Structure 1
Amino acid sequence: MTQSSTPVCVITGSASGIGAATALRFAQAGWSVAIGNFDDSTRDAASTVEALCRDAGAQTLIFDADVGKDADCRHAVDMVASRWQRIDALINCAGTTRVIPHNAFDQIDDFEFERVYRVNLIGLYQMTRAAVPLLRESASATRSTSVVNVSSLAGLNGTGSSIAYAASKGAVNTLTLSLARNLAPHIRVNALAPGMVDDGLLLRVLDAAAYDGVLSRMTESAPLKRVSRPAEIAELAWFLTAHAPAITGQVIAAENGLLLGGA
């Protein structure tokens, strides 16, 4: 089969939030996009994202994957290989959390740590490992391919929805450095560490009243008096992939100044 001449971006967790915005951003740039869906519960949302990408003129593919399962990751990459025979960018957006106060030590146990790490860290690694052969093949002497890991401010300052979540994102940051070192020179690996993102993961794990309260507090706490939108983070993923050939091994905070105040 002949390799597609159009670059391909694979985005995990792209039925909503940052992943959905990233799929659309790459589609608008003329890339083909593989849209990562979790299961039947997110299928309608993934189909909506696919329709938007197709309206932008992109070729699309939806793949189902629980990234915590290595077989799912390998099957997803096999689907992309069968369709386009290339991967030029992998954006690891899939994530999970539960809201558990950091001082509620009796509410978090080893099972919760393992559940969160299975998706946020191990799943990210497994998906990257599965994609590496195609990422290498798609690179050239003058053009590297790209992996962008969606981390979190929580991994930089130990805040966030739970201790397990913060620790998993801190581990993602370290994994990013190791992958960048070991996949160079053909593949660049970077991470984005957003603060509060409206329409992000928290919207799916909190009720409306609790979510509005968090949104208000984070807006007030940020020196810039705002929170981010998914499209802003998608734009950074696009920049790192398409316009940053010298950047690898970096964790880029996009948190509206929250680190300045130690929030």
Structure 2
Amino acid sequence: MTYSATPVCMITGAASGIGAATAVRFARAGWAVAIGNFDDSTRASALAVQDECRAHGAETLVFDADVSQDEACLRAVDDVTARWRRIDALVNCAGTTRVIPHAQLDDVDAAEFERVYRVNTIGLFQMTRAAAPWLRESATAKRSASVIHISSLAGLNGTGSSIAYAASKGAVNTMTLSLARSLAPRVRVNAIAPGMVDDGLLLRSLEPAQYRDVLARMTANSPLERVSQPAEIADLAFFLTEHAPAITGQVIAAENGFLLASV
């Protein structure tokens, strides 16, 4: 495949939630989008996202990647660059969690920490490392390349679905600073730390009735009396990529005021 004149956004965890919304947002703006799928269990959803992106006229590719495996990250980047010979933006949305009340310390063992970190922290690093040479090459004097990490409010205030999850996202926030220094000046690296997002990880981690209860409680407890939608986070990822050439190394909280409530 010859070099594409269209900018390319590669998104992990794009079969649902924030990742899916991000793929559609970039597609609407005329970007080509590489839609990260996990395995056969999420393939139908990933293909539906692809159809929606194509309806906006975007070139698309669905790639499979378990980001916890370095070989899968390298293979995914090979698939994307074989198609377009460039990557202009990487949005790391792939994530995992399991709901474990923070006070139940005995329910969080080393295996759970390792499972969560393999995806949320190590996987994010591995995918960024694999894409970094292409991101650098795609950058120009007028336009830097962009990496966006989807972090969490949990990494800022120690809340969230489990201690392991909160710790993994805190590590993502620190890694954002390190990578921003390492990849400058050609690549900017930022993180978005959402609070409760409807259609986020919790939707796939809780029973429907439990999820409705959490959604209602988080809405009531938010200073803005709302939770976010995936499209809002996707809009912010697009803004950081296309309209924020001076912003790098930042963790941007998009949490409807929960940090105010915790003071």
1:151 equivalent in alignment to 2:151: yes
Write the letter of the residue equivalent to 2:12.
T
| Structure 1 residue 106 displacement after superposition | 1.1
Equivalent in the alignment of 2:27: 27
- Residue 243 of structure 2 corresponds to 243
1:103 corresponds in structure 2 to 103
Residues 214-229 of structure 1 mapped to structure 2, 5 A cutoff: 214-229=214-229
2:117 aligns with: 117
Measured after TM superposition, the shift of residue 148 of structure 1 is: 0.2
The correspondence of residues 1-263 of structure 1 with structure 2, limited to 5 A, is 1-262=1-262
Give 2:15's aligned amino acid.
A
Shift, 1:2, TM fit: 2.6
Output the amino acid matched with 1:172: V
The runs of 5 or more residues in structure 2 that have no matched partner are none
What amino acid is the match of 2:67? Answer: V
C-alpha distance after superposition, 1:40-88 (max 9, x if no partner): 0000000000000000000000000000000000000001110000000
Which amino acid in 1 is paired with 2:86? R
Query: Quick one: distance in 2 between partners of 1:50 and 1:10?
Result: 13
Looking at structure 2, the residues matched to 108 and 255 of structure 1 have their Cα atoms a distance apart, in angstroms, of 26
Q: Give the SS at the match of 1:103.
A: coil
Secondary structure, in 3 states, of the residue corresponding to 2:14?
coil
Equivalents in 1 of 2:254, 2:260: separation in Å? 12
| SS in structure 2 at match of 1:143 | coil
* Distance in 2 (alpha carbons) for counterparts of 1:29 and 1:49: 15
Residues of 1 paired with 2:226 and 2:244: CA distance?
A: 27
Q: Secondary structure at the match of 2:72?
A: helix
Aligned AA (1:210): Q
Structure-1 separation of matches of 2:98 and 2:171: 18
Q: CA deviation at 1:141?
A: 1.5
* Inter-partner Cα distance in structure 1 for 2:79 and 2:72: 11
CA distance in 1, matches of 2:75, 2:207: 34
- 1:76-133 C-alpha deviation (Å, 9 max, x unpaired): 0001110000000000000000000001011110000000000000000000000001
Secondary structure of the corresponding residue to residue 178 of structure 2: helix
Helix, strand or coil: the match of 1:259?
A: helix
Q: Secondary structure at the match of 1:78?
A: helix
Q: After the TM superposition, list the runs of 4 or more consecutive aligned residues in structure 1 that deviate by more than 4 angstroms.
A: none
| Normalised TM-score (structure 1) | 0.99
Distance 1:141 1:3 in 2: 19
Report the CA distance between 1:142 and its aligned residue: 1.7
Letter in 2 for 1:83: R
State the identity as a percent.
73
Q: Secondary structure at the match of 1:35?
A: strand
In structure 2, distance between residues paired with 1:125 and 1:11: 14
Unaligned residue ranges in structure 1 (runs of 5+): none
Question: What RMSD, in angstroms, separates the aligned Cα atoms of the two structures?
Answer: 0.7
